[in-house]
Structure 1
């Protein structure tokens, strides 16, 4: 009997161990499945982002985020927040992008994973640069550069440093700090040369971009021979790797020929660049290629028919892209509202379940209902605040677009650019219509003059921007007063605004 009991005890002992091992393995298996599911979603979101499907990328990353939160998967939460921030920043929703970056930075995984930290610095820098906060952008890019040195994989470390120097050079270029641009271009060149030969296929586009940028810098320095050398090198790299993306290098050739005085050759290259943008279906690049040709024809006083053709194509593409961007922004804003609504509906359902449970288990029905009602009002107020915030966000985006357009108009006026009157007509169509109604035979030069007065440019400003004497401007103003019977004590700018 004792032997039987001992055998049973041993059996129970090993059976308990077996069950414990099985339960432990089951736990790890379930968590491994969750991790795998999140990682697949993150890979898909990354792929969608690279294909410019920003709304899809955002939605996929959000699913990964919700699943990661359920299982407290810090890596998934960190990367999903960063992916959402990337998608939002590409469509100009910078405020929310920064909020998601902050959420990523709170995770334990973020402080352990240097790649996530470096990407956060890079994204913040890009957002600040787009918001015209150049000094703040540079600080973030320098952090990106500093912490890239801590990335363990040597190839990824070099690539991260390369991108940091590219961002810094681009920011300095916008500030016209040419010496600083040159310094970081040379560093890019040195980094690219240090890549192993078996990685050349992965970095060829970065290499061609750097060569092309160095060539353009030599053009700024009027060293055409060295400029041609680097632009040729850029084209060789692209050709050897069968790259279809040739438009930037072709445009650089156009700039080169223009600097050398070969106008016909320059036009040929600009047209080839335009054809390439059409071939690769890059609408944004196609827009700027048309603008480049239009500006070139205007600058060199070539065929007006061609100027009109390229300007019309530019305007059409610009309007189309603006519409697409606004639709993408609208989709993302709506997506946020839907998520908030879904979350609210889920919480309402949870509250209802709680009420039923409390009714069964707790006697204090009246007190609970009062508390529940108060919470619901607070939640409704919160949702209302969120909706108001989103409405303000859309309004701010629209105002930001108009502000950028007005700043562009002022700069065009200061340069006496032919496009000044085109942009002015877009911003103030009613004034142009009324002015033409008052003077049907008005000339374009007179429209430009009236537009400058409408914008409150002083006599001295108009004289400086149009390269005429102050006396000439005063004479034109007197003629304008006489034509429209405007009293000498009446402010011209005020009269025009009252039309």
Structure 2
């Protein structure tokens, strides 16, 4: 029966190996190469190529059954979908990631997934859900170390400050913006210049909204200083915020100059979304202040044209992304169908093994039960004989002393069974007291488990001691240890 059971286990492993091929180094490298390309597209702000390349990586990872590749490429796709405004599809992708072993074992991956989920909830104005998820992420970040931990905290604080800004809770927004600043202090200024500049910019806007113009000026000046010192190429908000600050101070001409400078820098950087926002801000500024009706109309028209163009482009991007996602789903369905036969065979094999194991287990348990009943009867017979020899009270007292590991156990045992102790000493005049106690317990037919329990050692330690005594006392390997000890007493 055991041979049949082992054969079925080997069969199962063979079936698994046909269903789940080993990932080669070449396949891993191909997936990682695509992921590296996707990162470069993300840095360049090319959303569509970023998502498309991540989908290619996921397809390849699925073909190779490369678990880590599935998780990583899935997170890239989820992030891209959320950026494109496809929140539902992005959240579904996160659900798929969570089924991978890599996700379950990697804290950083879990942290990143929560960050993307929190961002999606925030964009959907599900602010309480966003806060809950981002705070869950903080618990995971504590377990990270080094640069991973610092960067994870940075983005976590950044998203929390955005959520609180949407909710109008400026105190909490200020708290998490200042935490970003404190978190950056582990870096040299030159190594994190852009992150510092963004935080200074956000603090400047915060203090403008709060009416603390002195502090707002202080942080905006720091932002400008970093821009000039490190030649930071893309600046989207600092000059616009300076325009808002001067408007609130009543310096309208100065404010107009800052708004115009903000637009010029966004044009130079090629930021069309930034330009659209500047057109809106300039049109509102000239209309509310009454400074220049012609400029009001000019910027209103520029805003409408660019806004319509961007909306058309966004729709095209969304349509393309949805098309790619639909193709991905079709490929996943095809893969599932191709694996269905193999899965059915595996299920059948597992069922056969389960039945075989159950039958073997029942028979095995019956044999064990019979053996235990025989051992119990033998122990009862021995105890009855020993009790008859020395009296019930003394024997019970001896057993209690053994169970409590009492030092007096050996003294009483030597009094009751002096011939056995003499026989052991005759075999080995240098036998130790601890060895005599051990042999005495074996003479009383205590099992290995009982001796381990009463002497506060492991079962393994008892087995090792038995082996040593076998060699020392020349006990045959095929002889039962306890039976041999009682036989020694009978010889005497």
Shared fold by TM > 0.5?
A: yes
- Picking from 218, 224, 230, the partner of 2:207 is 218
- Picking from 58, 64, 87, the partner of 1:65 is 58
Structure-1 separation of matches of 2:293 and 2:72: 52
Are the equivalent residues in 2 in contact too, given 1:216–1:227 (CA < 8 A)?
A: yes
- Picking from 178, 184, 195, the partner of 2:176 is 184
Question: RMSD over aligned Cα, in angstroms?
Answer: 2.4
Aligned: 1:51 with 2:56: no
Are the equivalent residues in 2 in contact too, given 1:247–1:272 (CA < 8 A)?
A: no
The match for 2:392 is none
The match for 2:234 is 245
Change in Cα spacing, 1:336 to 1:159, as seen in structure 2 (3 Å) is closer
Structure 2 gap ranges (5+) = 1-20, 343-492
The match for 1:155 is 147
Larger radius of gyration: 2
TM-score, normalisation: structure 1 = 0.61
Q: Write out aligned runs for 1:324-339 (5 A).
A: 324-339=313-328
Structure-2 separation of matches of 1:148 and 1:205: 23
Are the equivalent residues in 1 in contact too, given 2:55–2:328 (CA < 8 A)?
A: no
Aligned: 1:205 with 2:194: yes
Aligned residue for 2:237, secondary structure, equals: helix
- Picking from 224, 243, 246, the partner of 1:254 is 243
Q: Write out aligned runs for 1:363-378 (5 A).
A: none
Change in Cα spacing, 1:58 to 1:201, as seen in structure 2 (3 Å) is same
- Picking from 110, 118, 142, the partner of 2:135 is 142
The Cα shift of 1:343 comes to 6.6
The match for 2:96 is 103
The Cα shift of 1:141 comes to 1.5
Are the equivalent residues in 2 in contact too, given 1:77–1:104 (CA < 8 A)?
A: yes
Q: How many residues align?
A: 321
Further displaced range: 54-63 or 72-81:
54-63
Aligned residue for 1:229, secondary structure, equals: helix
The match for 1:378 is none
The match for 2:68 is 75
Aligned residue for 1:247, secondary structure, equals: coil
Further displaced range: 307-316 or 177-186:
177-186
The match for 1:87 is 80
The match for 1:287 is 276
Structure-2 separation of matches of 1:72 and 1:43: 19
The match for 1:196 is 187
Are the equivalent residues in 1 in contact too, given 2:59–2:328 (CA < 8 A)?
A: no
TM-score, normalisation: structure 2 = 0.62
Aligned: 1:273 with 2:265: no
The match for 1:479 is none
Are the equivalent residues in 2 in contact too, given 1:114–1:150 (CA < 8 A)?
A: yes
The Cα shift of 1:99 comes to 1.2
Structure-2 separation of matches of 1:41 and 1:202: 27
Structure-1 separation of matches of 2:327 and 2:226: 47
Are the equivalent residues in 2 in contact too, given 1:235–1:246 (CA < 8 A)?
A: no
The Cα shift of 1:341 comes to 5.4
- With CA pairs under 8 Å and 6+ residues apart, which has the higher RCO, 1 or 2? 2
Q: Deviations over 1:427-448 (max 9, x none)?
A: xxxxxxxxxxxxxxxxxxxxxx
Structure-1 separation of matches of 2:56 and 2:166: 38
Q: Deviations over 1:241-300 (max 9, x none)?
A: 111223311112112211221100000000000001110010001100111111111111
Q: Deviations over 1:136-174 (max 9, x none)?
A: 11111212223222222x222112111111111111111
The Cα shift of 1:83 comes to 0.9
Change in Cα spacing, 1:178 to 1:341, as seen in structure 2 (3 Å) is closer
Are the equivalent residues in 2 in contact too, given 1:254–1:270 (CA < 8 A)?
A: yes
Structure 1 gap ranges (5+) = 1-26, 355-499
Change in Cα spacing, 1:147 to 1:311, as seen in structure 2 (3 Å) is same
The Cα shift of 1:335 comes to 2.1
- Picking from 296, 308, 328, the partner of 1:307 is 296
The match for 1:40 is 33
Are the equivalent residues in 1 in contact too, given 2:154–2:180 (CA < 8 A)?
A: yes
Are the equivalent residues in 2 in contact too, given 1:185–1:210 (CA < 8 A)?
A: yes
Structure-2 separation of matches of 1:281 and 1:147: 38
Q: Write out aligned runs for 1:372-391 (5 A).
A: none
Are the equivalent residues in 2 in contact too, given 1:84–1:97 (CA < 8 A)?
A: yes
Change in Cα spacing, 1:343 to 1:192, as seen in structure 2 (3 Å) is closer
The match for 1:117 is 110
Structure-1 separation of matches of 2:156 and 2:323: 34
Aligned residue for 1:52, secondary structure, equals: coil
Change in Cα spacing, 1:71 to 1:270, as seen in structure 2 (3 Å) is same
Structure-2 separation of matches of 1:279 and 1:224: 29
